[in-house]
Amino acid sequence: MRYLSQRFTMPNRMASAVLNDVGTEELAHLELVSTIVHQLTRNLSMEEIEKSGFGPYYIDHTVGIWPQAAGGVPFNACEFQSKGDPITDLFENLAADGAFL
């Protein structure tokens, strides 16, 4: 969401296209993780769900995929930033991803 939001204020068309491509690829990662979670949980018995610590999640969402942090905090808009300033946004992306540093 960070990259897809930032692309609208990027003044350079090439940089905007890169942000669009990266954002699209990041959404594919969410799809992969959701598929893995679904495959690992779709045939669990109630005993397995309770023993694994998955009980509270199951009560709220059954076996539906609901993005949240390991501590149980649901996904929200605080997870991505878009300041509208291209340099600030790009530096924030570098800090958030860490892989580029």
Q: Average pLDDT over the chain, rounded to whole?
A: 82
Helix locations, the chain, DSSP H? 2-6, 13-41, 46-51, 55-61, 86-97
Domain residue ranges of the chain, discontinuous segments joined by +: 2-96
User: How far apart (Å, rounded) are the C-alpha atoms in residues 53 and 87?
Assistant: 43
Q: In this predicted structure, what is the pLDDT of residue 61? A: 77
Which CATH number fits the domain 2-96, given the four candidates 2.60.40.10, 1.20.120.80, 1.10.3470.10, 1.20.1260.10? Answer: 1.20.1260.10
The more confident residue out of 99 and 20 is 20
Per-residue confidence at 101, pLDDT binned at 50, 70, 90?
A: very low
